[in-house]
Structure 1
């Protein structure tokens, strides 16, 4: 067993999910699945650029009580391996379509964070009737990616020289309160951070990260595509997001009529920063479906 696999097993130990491998659009995809879906629709969770499925771990136990949850590593990220065929937008959307088809017995709620949100929005615009609802969490793609300078500098330094220190510095701008995040994740934090550094040092992961940003977030999704999304759509946003400010979500909410839930004391990852508040916002997004 290699170092990465040991890290993954440490992160996942004790969580109500199983790791499975599915071959989707030529991508050997690592997928976490859990919950029996007895009380609500399936929920598919898409993470952010350079991340991995385990970024959703703080909210998985509660979601799995009411839903079948499906949490993949995005193509080229984590342990999802690309076969060498270029990772263009069409292939990523085909990948997501196959994931939904193979794992969801009913139309799912598709939840996408940052770049995962941009992918989810593009998918929802072209796949009517395949989703029950769409939830965009601090999503990219609603405007051109133009983070606050200090966020952009920390991201550039981390990707240019992935070390524990550069990762910590970057996470200080992602999270509103990194000490609180560390406390919540507990003994898994060191492994979580080490795995993130390990992945960022992999040229293949960086190439996939750049590809997703280029295909889905370098330019805004055309407004006519967003207006064509005909499934219930909700925005969840950290008030202190330095990558895509809250004003972007407020403008999208006003333009498209999408409800907006603001998570206080959170940066660009409210599920990591404020998992309990995120669950409350997601429960409101799901309407009558309760998350215990």
Structure 2
């Protein structure tokens, strides 16, 4: 798959992604606030009515940006809470992002934004930390849904992806960002075709975050911590209803990881056709339908 150069009029403005983020979030039925959580100022989006659902993003961008194409649909039947992890998106960094810091932070997110136990949705790298949180603090959650998570099975990062990640870390650019898109999306061109301006802003925003030193540092810490396999004995201790949603063509975290976990732990698996690692962006309608099935799991 060929990488595509992005049309960014003023690369010097990339580091300040405020304008780009505003364009990406425009029209979403959410409000934004900043909360002091685990000693870090955290950006949080909230919207909708219904049972609370906390959405955790898995990359350099902000939570709202990662989930934006699916947020409006989710807000129709749920109260959606979308925080930026400390050190990523628009939240302040912490000295080190690890399991303890994450656990304290997420517990405060739940305490300050949810009037009842929430459903926790976690994508990609943060899914490993979310699973560990469910092991230790399942009493705080209603259910857990994992999307494209490497830590729930035997995982070896593909060599091509590792090279792409190193290049992006050393020199974030339109070119290295486009190569990441080739890994993340089944078909970047097709996803872009639906809304070219939004997709181009997304790619530019990813690059803008990648230029921020503390964002790169946080991502390195997450990759180190969250690509390690969680012992099966620990995963078996998760006592809240847990479900998996996966892009069928995920090249970053192959579907077989989810199939193995589903068979071993009895977690129902919803597979999104024509999607890679980011089904919430590639196929938002199918993704939200799959979530509704996942939400029904474990209900009386």
Q: Same fold (TM over 0.5)?
A: yes
Which contiguous aligned blocks of 4+ residues in structure 1 show a shift greater than 4 angstroms? none
Matched, 1:261 2:270: yes
Deviation at 1:242, TM superposition (A): 1.5
- How many residue pairs align between the two structures? 284
2:165 is aligned to 155
C-alpha distance in 1 between matches for 2:280 and 2:18: 24
Once the two structures are superposed, residues 118-163 of structure 1 have per-residue CA deviations (whole angstroms, 9 ceiling, x without a partner) of 1211111111221111000011211354222223322322222211
SS across alignment from 1:165: helix
SS across alignment from 2:217: helix
**Unaligned 5+ runs, structure 1:** none
Q: Is the 8 A contact 1:146 1:243 kept in 2?
A: no
Specify whether residues 259 and 288 from structure 1 end up closer, same or farther in structure 2 by C-alpha distance, changes over 3 A only. Answer: closer
Specify whether residues 258 and 288 from structure 1 end up closer, same or farther in structure 2 by C-alpha distance, changes over 3 A only. Answer: closer
Once the two structures are superposed, residues 163-182 of structure 1 have per-residue CA deviations (whole angstroms, 9 ceiling, x without a partner) of 11211121012100112221
Q: Is the 8 A contact 2:155 2:257 kept in 1?
A: no
2:256 is aligned to 247
2:106 is aligned to 96
Matches within 5 A, 1:200-215: 200-215=210-225
Specify whether residues 45 and 11 from structure 1 end up closer, same or farther in structure 2 by C-alpha distance, changes over 3 A only. Answer: same
**Which of these residues, 69, 79, 82, is aligned with residue 58 of structure 1?**
69
Deviation at 1:11, TM superposition (A): 1.7
**RMSD value, Cα:** 1.9
1:16 is aligned to 29
SS across alignment from 1:282: helix
1:78 is aligned to 89
SS across alignment from 2:146: strand
C-alpha distance in 1 between matches for 2:195 and 2:129: 27
2:180 is aligned to 170
Q: Is the 8 A contact 2:134 2:238 kept in 1?
A: yes
SS across alignment from 2:96: coil
Q: TM-score, normalised by structure 2?
A: 0.90
Q: Is the 8 A contact 1:89 1:216 kept in 2?
A: no
**Which of these residues, 226, 243, 252, is aligned with residue 234 of structure 1?**
243
**Which of these residues, 36, 45, 52, is aligned with residue 49 of structure 2?**
36
2:230 is aligned to 221
**Unaligned 5+ runs, structure 2:** 1-12
C-alpha distance in 2 between matches for 1:69 and 1:3: 26
C-alpha distance in 2 between matches for 1:234 and 1:185: 30
Deviation at 1:190, TM superposition (A): 2.2
1:194 is aligned to 204
Q: TM-score, normalised by structure 1?
A: 0.92
